[in-house]
Structure 1
Amino acid sequence: MMPSVPQSDSEAYYRTLFESMDQGFCVIEFFDGPHGPLSDYIHIEANPAYAVHAGIPNVVGQTLRDMVPNEADAWVARYGAVLATGQPIRFEQELVATGHYLEVSSFRIEPASRRQVAVLFKDVTDRKRAERALMDVNETLEARVATAVADRQLLAGIVENTHAFVHVLDMEMRYLAVNSAAAAEFERVFGSRPRIGDKIGDLLAAHPELLADLRKAWAKAFAGEDYVMIDEYGDPSLDRRYYEQHFSPLRNAVGEQIGAYQFGYDVTDRLAEQDRLRIAEEALRQAQKMEAVGQLTGGLAHDFNNLLAGISGSFEMIGIRAAQGRTADVEKYIHAGQGAARRAAALTHRLLAFARRQTLSPKPTIINKLLSELVELVQRTVGPGIAVETIAAGGLWTAQVDANQLENAILNLCINARDAMVGGGRITIETSNRWLDERTARERNMVQGQYVAVSVTDTGSGIDKSILDRVFDPFFTTKPIGQGTGLGLSMVYGFARQSHGQVRIYSELGQGTTVTIYLPRHHGTQDEREAVAPARLPRIHPSGESVLIVDDEPTVRLLVADALGDLGYHCIEAEDGASALKIFEGEPEIDLLITDVGLPGGLNGRQVADAARVLKRDLRVLFITGYAENAVLNHGHIEPGMEVLTKPFSIDDLIRRVERMLHETKAGSGGK
């Protein structure tokens, strides 16, 4: 693992490398212009070498269309593809405005929402001129070779003054031409100097492995291909360097191939600079990640410590008042502790929603019907100073979603909207059908197809564009300390992504904000059985039903056993999976298994349940879990007779769930 680098050091290292590198380097940021979305960009960073290679000084702050309006579309197309796809590119292109021919490599700066692309380039005008000249010579080279094959001045006037390494070979890999730079470099790394008429095979006869490398590099050129490659060459006892090589076939005047030629140059230092830049950026990203982790844990500790103080303080006061005999005061401390516990549970649910680890039960849902039942709760929550209206689209598709979690998400958005409208205002909840084509879906990091959209719009203060990309981050909030956890929008984001949807936000300062949740369409109709509220079950009078409780936390076992025992159930406890199975083998007439999913000792709750069902096929199983271990629960696949209850749960919820599950057992079997 790479050691972490302090952020200040990594930034200084990055800045030093940025300012001192020989290559031109800049960072551009795309924006929407008069020519359309992402149709222009501005230079936000540029090193001193930029002006040297591009011929344009003081580029920072200039937009592309102000600098080179006649060439803007071509450059936007190049870098726009990098921004859209995330795929780095290498290319050569002339900057017509200055007459400089540039060799460019470009990559996207993550995340893509920053709309930034990094560009590394150098001026290769001399090399391009030499290449053009050599291509002109290619048409007449056969005649010139026939009359002066041994003339060492064959290409002197064309390529001798270029910095590129030029090699021209016939079909037997015999030198027809080589410029001084190439001959000197070949001698430096291979130990022998090539001359016109020499064969590469003779020059490297003592180094068959090096010769094999060169034959492989030239092979496609002798097969008639044009290509570019970067590879390492040289005798390890002398030097090995990286070279970028442009290979082309050499043809005579009538189009017959008579050899091949190559333009190359040493890119070892450039690659090393790119590696150093990459390492510096990785260090910077790591520092930013650690800063985010610090913000996350700090916010979490702040909120949980407040809640734990309320819970522990309530228990202490209950103990004090009990010792004093003042039992009349106990009830208010019980209520205070329960309230703090409920808020702590809500906080963990928000964290799990952000991490996409909450338990979801997506079902076909008619969202318009859900809104009609939810709007009254929203109005009570936001207060009389804010008007709440709904705009329900006609013919709205059925959505595949967990209705309860969707209600929580909408309520969170409405609470955020309320807080943004201090002097009152209006909240509009709107539904619509959306079909996203391939391009739009890709831009929004979604899958092409049909979605049901739920939008919450307010007339509040709006959000500054400088922080708009951060609003879904956990614990990011603009509210004063103690007035918000910063988990509301991150919960909405996590819920939408876990539901295979997406969240989009649009805001204007002083105008308001719109947050839209996209949910996948259910292709079918709502299951009417789900639409009918279940009838209230009669309370069971236990007649000796046995319940096996498996949990490694003694407090949980104690509370569950006492609560069910008070109702007359026969409760048996086990602290791990192995103990539970031993109990079950000795007492198979157990009616209900209540087990935690995560258990110590090698057997998890699902494995215990599966093994117990081998002994008793109709055994009812209630999983109780701190979060949805989807891998253990077979990615959400729960068999008939199995249910999940998420911790922390109320005793009343536990009792209702147990009675319903055992009631179904009795109803199915006609009683015990």
Structure 2
Amino acid sequence: MRAHDWSASPLGAPETWPAPLGTVVGLMLGSAFPMFAAWGPSLGYLYNDAYSVMLGARHPDALGRPFRDVWPEIWDEILPFIERAMRGEATYQEDLPLRMLRKGFEEDTWWTFSYSPIRDVDGTVKGMFCACVETTEAVRSSSELASLNVDLERQVLERSHELKHLWDTSPDLLLVIDFEGVFRKVNPAWTTLLGYAPEELVGRHVSEFVLPEDDALTRDAYELAAGGGLPVVENRYRHKDGSIRWISWVAAPNGGLTYATGRDVTARVSAQAELAAAQDALRHSQKMEAVGQLTGGVAHDFNNLLTVIKSSTDLLKRPGLSDERRTRYVGAISDTVDRAAKLTSQLLAFARRQSLKPEVFDANESVRALGDMMGTLTGSRIRIETRLSDRTCFLNADPSQFDTALVNMAVNARDAMDGEGTLTIAVRTAERMPAVRAHPSVVGSFVAVSVIDTGIGIPSDRIAHIFEPFFTTKEVGQGTGLGLSQVFGFAKQSGGEVTVESVVGEGTTFTLYLPRVDGAARRVDEAEPAPLVDGHGTCVLVVEDNADVGTFAVQTLTDLGYVTVLANNAEEALAELARDADRFDVVFSDIVMPGMSGIDLAHHIRENHHDLPVLLASGYSHVLAKNGTYGFELLHKPYSVEDLSRLLRKVATWQRRRRILGDGRA
């Protein structure tokens, strides 16, 4: 510690002070930290070296001088403490730190002081002792904390103002609702969007404002929130003026309440409804256009066929007709009927209403057999190539319709090549059916049969229409436009698909995808019986609601030697069977009839007269198209006398064999 020059001190050197005053002051002032100071009766300034931090360059000059001269700027603040100490009271200045300018540094500092009187042995106050500690960092930290608190309070206040502004100005509905569905708080947007003032809503149940049809949906939403869920719902609210508004809600629970935001989506819902209506109208228009095109095509083709039939029948009526001409006209009528039957069959195939007879067969074998005769169909200038799979490719499909589909694709390819080029038929297995016509790709086991030509190709704007009935790019009279429609319908009804790839000027590839099945022995049909020219008294119950067809069938069978009984509907047939079922050998019934259908009648006969065979006939039945023949023999209309006789003999012979075997077992 630096030695003090006490000669300038009004108190003199400490050793001259009365004991113990001199000892105490000497010890305290000799300490380096904290800063200590002492004053005599005249408040002369004595201090230790630690005060140099405060005094700076004035440190040597301040010694012994009155405190007021050294720190005039804080004299008024410190005087009350000095006076109290000189009166004999110890005082502290801790709660309110003193701000002082650090000498020579031009910066504010903060200090805490304690003042104690210095007494002589007789108790007389001779001076004052002061201990001083700098608290600048503590004051600054406290100030920063206070400033931070003020800033946080300001931010909270600003956020509160923002939230209130958002609540008051939001164009969306804001709602606080309890878990029972009672409104607790609403924002002003409810008045703007739905016409209700807040006091008309708060405390009332949501069901009072939601349409009854949406009440259950709304109840599910706030019950979901009660369970901690996050409901998203659209429901309809009734405006105060009676109109309806669609509101889309998102909500989240917090505590015992749900906070929800609702947006008016009435315009969007209305636009969607208008769009759906427009799409329905467009689909209806397209459907009517398609029906018009279909009807026009059917009328055109059938009128042509009817013209041939009408002309032939008129010519047959002429007297003195030679046998050769009569045979020719009858043949023309027969051929035309076959063409008409083929036309309806193709239409039903496109519509997926053709009754199929699926069997398990190998596509390789069918293509090989067709390839051998395809040259006759396409002509000598078209080279036929077949590429068969080295794996078995079993299908469960109608083999006749499969062959027809390949023939139709081959004819289309022939015409596209103008009779000259290369036609390739390729068979392979595939592990997926590609996405086509808005349908996604299907993974599975398939057989893909491709028909590839080197023709003119199909423009991209026409590919979407090539499977439509009567759509054709050929010249008038060069085709009906039904061939590819049959391919499309057969593929769809068989659980498959048909795709087309084409490059104009290079060629086209049609690929038929059908589900692949495990190989199984193909059923070997029994030898078909020869047509029965003489019915030999076989008794047939004919069930037909069309009077002309029923009369013709009865006459035909009678001419062939059958004994017939005609029933005009299934109810009459059941009455005949109830009277005496044993007199009948066969029931020959139409399928589509008013009341009980022919299929229902056949099932009834199977259950109650299991030894009586049934032969069904139909020009079209959606039930057969969907479910098959249920194991009954089927005769397609229009049918020939030979077909009718053949199938009648087949079912009668089969039943007769069952009866013989049954008798033998008995």
TM-score, structure 1 as length reference? 0.66
Q: 2:612 corresponds to which residue? A: 619
- How far off its partner does 1:247 sit? 3.4
CA separation of 1:159/1:311 partners in 2, compared to 1, >3 Å: closer, same or farther?
Answer: same
| 2:148 maps to 1:155 | no
- What residue identity is the alignment partner of 1:504? T
Alignment partners' CA distance in 2, 1:442 and 1:330 = 51
Which of the numbers 265, 276, 279 marks the counterpart of 1:278?
276
Which of the numbers 588, 592, 602 marks the counterpart of 1:598?
592
Q: Do 1:446 and 1:501's aligned partners in 2 also have CA atoms closer than 8 Å?
A: no
Alignment partners' CA distance in 2, 1:459 and 1:293 = 33
Alignment partners' CA distance in 1, 2:365 and 2:282 = 49
- How far off its partner does 1:340 sit? 1.1
CA separation of 1:384/1:583 partners in 2, compared to 1, >3 Å: closer, same or farther?
Answer: same
Secondary structure at the aligned position of 1:467 is classed as: helix
Q: 1:209 corresponds to which residue? A: 208
- What residue identity is the alignment partner of 1:507? S
Alignment partners' CA distance in 1, 2:446 and 2:205 = 68
Secondary structure at the aligned position of 2:426 is classed as: strand
Q: 2:55 corresponds to which residue? A: none
Structure 2 unaligned regions, length at least 5 = 1-148
Which of the numbers 502, 505, 508 marks the counterpart of 1:510?
505
Quote the sequence identity (%): 34
Superposition CA RMSD, Å: 4.0
1:426-575 aligned within 5 A: 426-436=422-432, 444=439, 448-527=443-522, 529-530=523-524, 534=527, 542-575=535-568
CA separation of 1:536/1:545 partners in 2, compared to 1, >3 Å: closer, same or farther?
Answer: closer
Which of the numbers 638, 641, 647 marks the counterpart of 1:657?
647
- How far off its partner does 1:560 sit? 3.6
Q: 1:385 corresponds to which residue? A: 381
Alignment partners' CA distance in 1, 2:335 and 2:476 = 20
CA separation of 1:319/1:164 partners in 2, compared to 1, >3 Å: closer, same or farther?
Answer: same
1:158-557 aligned within 5 A: 163-165=171-173, 182-186=187-191, 189=194, 191-193=196-198, 203-205=202-204, 209-210=208-209, 226=230, 228-233=232-237, 236-237=240-241, 241-248=245-252, 261-320=259-318, 323-422=319-418, 424-436=420-432, 444=439, 448-527=443-522, 529-530=523-524, 534=527, 542-557=535-550
CA separation of 1:309/1:224 partners in 2, compared to 1, >3 Å: closer, same or farther?
Answer: same
Alignment partners' CA distance in 2, 1:536 and 1:208 = 76
Q: Give per-residue Cα distances to partners, 1:97-127, cap 9 Å, x unaligned.
A: xxxxxxxxxxxxxxxxxxxxxxxxxxxxxxx
- What residue identity is the alignment partner of 1:656? R
Alignment partners' CA distance in 1, 2:155 and 2:176 = 15
Q: Give per-residue Cα distances to partners, 1:553-608, cap 9 Å, x unaligned.
A: 344344444444344333333333333344442473221221211234x3332344
Which of the numbers 614, 638, 653 marks the counterpart of 2:630?
638
Q: Do 1:502 and 1:519's aligned partners in 2 also have CA atoms closer than 8 Å?
A: yes
Alignment partners' CA distance in 1, 2:639 and 2:205 = 79
Q: Do 2:253 and 2:259's aligned partners in 1 also have CA atoms closer than 8 Å?
A: yes
Secondary structure at the aligned position of 2:635 is classed as: strand
Q: Do 2:425 and 2:452's aligned partners in 1 also have CA atoms closer than 8 Å?
A: yes
Alignment partners' CA distance in 2, 1:546 and 1:170 = 81
Structure 1 unaligned regions, length at least 5 = 1-139, 195-199, 251-256
CA separation of 1:144/1:471 partners in 2, compared to 1, >3 Å: closer, same or farther?
Answer: farther
Q: Do 2:449 and 2:511's aligned partners in 1 also have CA atoms closer than 8 Å?
A: yes
Alignment partners' CA distance in 2, 1:609 and 1:486 = 37
Secondary structure at the aligned position of 1:273 is classed as: helix
- How far off its partner does 1:540 sit? 7.7
Q: 1:133 corresponds to which residue? A: none
Alignment partners' CA distance in 2, 1:390 and 1:398 = 17
Alignment partners' CA distance in 2, 1:523 and 1:481 = 45
CA separation of 1:158/1:297 partners in 2, compared to 1, >3 Å: closer, same or farther?
Answer: same
Alignment partners' CA distance in 2, 1:218 and 1:620 = 65
Alignment partners' CA distance in 2, 1:246 and 1:267 = 13
Q: Do 2:436 and 2:499's aligned partners in 1 also have CA atoms closer than 8 Å?
A: no
CA separation of 1:145/1:206 partners in 2, compared to 1, >3 Å: closer, same or farther?
Answer: farther
- What residue identity is the alignment partner of 2:470? F
Alignment partners' CA distance in 2, 1:455 and 1:208 = 63
- How far off its partner does 1:302 sit? 0.8
Give the number of aligned pairs.
Answer: 505
Q: Which has the larger radius of gyration?
A: 2
Secondary structure at the aligned position of 1:409 is classed as: helix
Q: Give per-residue Cα distances to partners, 1:601-652, cap 9 Å, x unaligned.
A: x333234444555664322221111124426x9932534xx41111112222
- How far off its partner does 1:659 sit? 2.7
- What residue identity is the alignment partner of 2:410? C
- How far off its partner does 1:415 sit? 0.7
Q: Do 2:210 and 2:237's aligned partners in 1 also have CA atoms closer than 8 Å?
A: no
Secondary structure at the aligned position of 1:470 is classed as: coil
